[in-house]
Amino acid sequence: MTPATSLPTEVIWPLTSLHEAIPLLAEKSSLLTKEMQSKPDTVESMDNLSAWLEHAGEQLGVEIMEVETSYPDQEDLLLQAAPALVLLPQTGEGRQDDENNTNTEQSAGFVLLTSSKGQSLRLLDQKGRVYSLPVQQLRDILVNELEAPLLPMVNTILEQVHIEEQQQGKVQRALLREYLAGARIGDCWLLRLPPSASFIRQLFRSRFPGKLTGLISATLIERLLILCASFLMGKKLLQGSVDVSDFQLWGLLLFAILPVHVLALQLRNRLSLDFGILLRNRLLYGILQLRPDEIQHQGSGYFVGTVQEIEQLEAMGMGTTFLTVTSFLELLLAVIVLMLGAGGLLHGLLLMLWVGAILVLGWVYYLRMREWLTHSRVMTRDLVERMVGHRTRLAQEQPEQLHELEDQLLSRYTIISERLDSMEVIMKSLAGRRGWLPVSLLGTLTMFVSTGVDISMLAVSLGGTLLAALALDQFVQSIYQFLKTMMSWEQVHPLYQAAVRERKRKKTQFVPLTCFAQEQKKHPVIQLEKLSFSYPAPGYPSGDSGQTGPVILDQCNLTIDAGQYVLLEGASGCGKSTLAAVLSGLQQPTAGSLHLFGFSQASLGEAVWRKRVVIAPQFHQNYVLTETLAFNLLMGRGWPPSREDVREAETLCQELGLGELLKAMPAGLQQIVGEGGWRLSHGERTRLFIARTLLQKADLIILDESFAALDPETLQIALPCVLRRAKALLLIAHP
């Protein structure tokens, strides 16, 4: 009996039913939104599964992410994966004809994880019902192939060492964990909201409001316990009737504060972590949506400053929220206590007026801090840009003018800092307890002398004054941190907004994969008619304003069929690279039509277009990342790579004449390259870029002056490899 047959047949979804399973799982998990385009078409084969799942996720408005884990962590992954799709091991009957690929699709089975509770998983069956299953049972099914070859050896060891029968199962699992510690298990896909989804919705999905409510409740309970303990002991001391029972009750209240405080800290740390993860995912996604010309326009200094602001925002975001909530709760309690004391309503109103004055000072402080941060960012960007161009400055600028601009910036920075510091002194010194205590105590004593109120009422007023003093210090500190957080947010906000560009654009009418495969045979790979392009006008790098500069491409017509190799020659500056950027989807045409196999970019979506039309830009626009050679080769193929991917990458390197380089590298494809790593020559980097492009197996390969750095002998090796592997090729070169 195969492992999968130990599951009820109704919870096993066949490959041909995935187009119904994925939408059902997303709906049951509350992931579907009004932005859903259409239901996915039927998946064709297991070979096309990854592409189909990505396409289906785009149609449904969810992110479907493939993950893998180690053998020891398989159970933890299953408990935390939901909602997820898990591929079951194929049955023996399906494996018999794997070479002919006849029964693979029929034998492929999947289970849908909707949630977990304790050590049980909840699966969706084919009728939409929930089925409970122990996690250990599903884990045993998934790891059976790995464990089966080792079980005879492990059982032999158990017999030789005479392990007690009650302990054999535990020892067997421990030995298997030791032998299979490095084994990787995949075939699991997580369904999640995409980073471009509503941030509020993502917070709700992470149970953020419930945790925040718990944090506020725990903080309020902690403050009330402190207040009750202080009131109890203060009242007894004033009455002069303190006994042992009062001390016992007082100690019990103080002891009860400890677990509540620990709970509040745990919730605070959990909230900070959840918020930081969601924020970083959103900002990283926004960075990936930026166009190359936007990045080049801003410069490296801008992004260095932005990274610093992201760190500041993440570090202070939840801390500021917690401090603000705590200070407001304490101020509210202080107002209530003051109203119950000798000053009555007037004393409470005095505290509220004091808070209003702090808010006014906070606004003035905000304006000065904004001016200071803006100037500080200008200095940071200028410093980075000048460091990059340091050698050029030394060669071209006059020595007496070399640091003139820096001196002006520093002088202005000093003046702004002095203004900010003076306001900060007022905020932190006079607006907090140092200003409040004299005013409040003077008013309390005046009322006591003039009206002769009871001493217990005076004690309540003094307690409220001290409570307000501590709360005001926290309130001023929260304003200070809140303003700094807002300044950081203003810097980061463009990246946050960039993440929703796809949602703001015209909705994509997704083309079914089966329809796309049929149309491939009828139309050219690329066809453009009367295409024109103009870069955005200066000052509008993203092109959002609609203002355009001079025309670069004017009424261009071009057709490239499958198997066709096109050489595009022209003088520098004539628009060759611009045409390549438009064809690859890096730039959008301003007029005319552009189609891939008869489909426009709007119908396919940018992601699909860029996978099918791949460009190796000019050398100065391409990069070797500080990672392994395998990562630099396969970063456009998918990561982590399969063994077949690694073998193909190594074969391609051999075909491009990089065999000697691989032999020289101590770790081969796993050698770290890039900055601070293995030193590659100009020609070796060029061939790495060519290999990276070819490994993406696109329908059209565009090489922009990729052979310019190769000598004639190397060119004779690399060019036939490119022509042999490219389905269609556009080669850009100088005459």
- Residue 302: per-residue pLDDT: 66
At 5-46, the pLDDT tens digits run: 578 888 889 888 888 888 889 888 888 866 555 677 777 777
pLDDT at 291 over 50: yes
Q: Quick one: pLDDT at residue 725? A: 93
Using the predicted structure, report yes or no on whether residue 652 has a pLDDT greater than 90: yes
Domain boundaries, the chain: 3-194, 200-498, 513-522+560-585+595-733
Task: Determine the pLDDT at residue 93.
Answer: 44
pLDDT at 40: 75
pLDDT tens string 356-367: 888 888 888 888
Count how many residues are written for the chain: 735
Please report which confidence band the pLDDT of residue 564 belongs to, taking 50, 70 and 90 as the band edges. very high
Q: What are 511's two structure tokens?
A: 């083309």
Q: What is the Cα–Cα distance from 175 to 71, expressed in whole angstroms? A: 12
Note the pLDDT of residue 369: 82
Confidence of residue 723 (pLDDT cuts 50, 70, 90): very high
Confidence of residue 100 (pLDDT cuts 50, 70, 90): very low
Q: Span 655-667, mean pLDDT?
A: 91
Q: Could you give the strand order of the β-sheet that contains 591-596, starting from the edge strand earlier in sequence?
A: 548-560, 526-536, 591-596, 599-600
Task: In whole angstroms, give the CA distance from residue 587 to residue 702.
Answer: 14
Residue 101, pLDDT > 50, answer no
Name which residue leads in pLDDT, 268 or 451: 268
Report the pLDDT value the prediction gives residue 727, as an integer from 0 to 100.
92
- Average confidence (pLDDT) over 175-195: 86
Q: Measured between alpha carbons, how far is 342 from 339 in angstroms, rounded to an integer?
A: 8
Question: What Å distances lie between residue 54 and 62, 122, 194, CA to CA?
Answer: 9, 24, 12
- Residues 381, 300: Cα–Cα separation, whole Å: 8
Q: Which two tokens stand for residue 367?
A: 């304006």
Is the distance from CB of 402 to CB of 453 less than 8 angstroms? no
**pLDDT tens-digit series, residues 666-701:** 888 999 887 666 778 889 999 999 999 999 989 999
Considering the segment(s) 200-498 as one domain, its CATH architecture is: Up-down Bundle (1.20)
For residues 659 and 687, what is the distance between their CA atoms, to the nearest angstrom? 12
107: confidence class by pLDDT, cuts 50, 70, 90: low
Beta bridge partners of 566: 730
Residue 452, pLDDT score? 59
Q: How confident is the model at residue 708 (pLDDT cuts 50, 70, 90)?
A: confident
Q: Which residue would you say has higher pLDDT here, 691 or 599?
A: 691
For position 89, what pLDDT does the model report?
A: 83
pLDDT surpassing 80 at residue 112 = yes
Higher pLDDT, 446 or 219: 219
640 preceded by a cis bond (ω within 30 of 0) = yes
pLDDT of residue 536: 72
What pLDDT is recorded for position 2?
Answer: 44
Of 176 and 108, the one with more pLDDT:
176
What percentage of residues in the chain have a pLDDT greater than 90? 15
Residue 98 has pLDDT above 50, yes or no: no
Looking at the predicted structure, is the pLDDT value of residue 489 above 50? yes
Confidence of residue 653 (pLDDT cuts 50, 70, 90): very high
489 vs 445, residue with greater confidence: 489
Helix (H, G, I), strand (E, B) or coil at 36: coil
Residue 404 has pLDDT above 80, yes or no: no
Closest of 282, 272, 271 to residue 199, by C-alpha: 282
Amino acid sitting at position 490: E
pLDDT digits 0-9 by tens, 608-651 = 888 889 999 988 788 888 889 999 999 888 777 888 899 999 99
Interaxial angle between packed helices 455-498 and 208-239, expressed in degrees from 0 to 180 and rounded to the nearest 10:
170
* Cβ atoms 382, 409 nearer than 8 A: yes
User: What is the average pLDDT across 146-174?
Assistant: 81
Q: What is the pTM of this model?
A: 0.70
Q: What is the pLDDT of residue 30?
A: 85
Lowest mean pLDDT among 24-28, 380-384, 460-464: 380-384
Under 8 Å between Cβ of 516 and 52 = no
In 452-512, alpha helices (H): 455-498, 501-504
How far apart CA 193 and CA 416 sit, in angstroms, is 44
Mean pLDDT of the chain: 80
C-alpha distances in angstroms, 108 versus 46, 92, 97, 578?
A: 8, 11, 13, 46
Task: Using the Cα atoms of residue 387, residue 280, residue 311 and residue 367 in order, give the sign of their dihedral.
Answer: positive
Strand partners, 556: 531
Given this chain, do its domains 200-498 and 513-522+560-585+595-733 carry the same CATH topology? no
Q: Are strands 184-192 and 63-70 parallel, antiparallel or unpaired?
A: antiparallel
pLDDT-wise least confident of 134-143, 396-405, 677-686: 396-405
pLDDT score of 586 more than 50: yes
> Does residue 536 contact residue 549 with C-beta atoms inside 8 Å?
yes
pLDDT score for 347: 82
Rounded CA separation 707/530 (Å): 30
Region 517-532: what's the mean pLDDT? 83
Predicted pLDDT at 506: 45
The pLDDT of residue 732: 92
Whole-number pLDDT of residue 395: 55
Percent of the chain exceeding pLDDT 70 equals: 83
**In the CATH hierarchy, which fold is given to the domain comprising 513-522+560-585+595-733?**
Rossmann fold (3.40.50)
Alpha-carbon gap, residue 689 to 561, rounded angstroms: 24
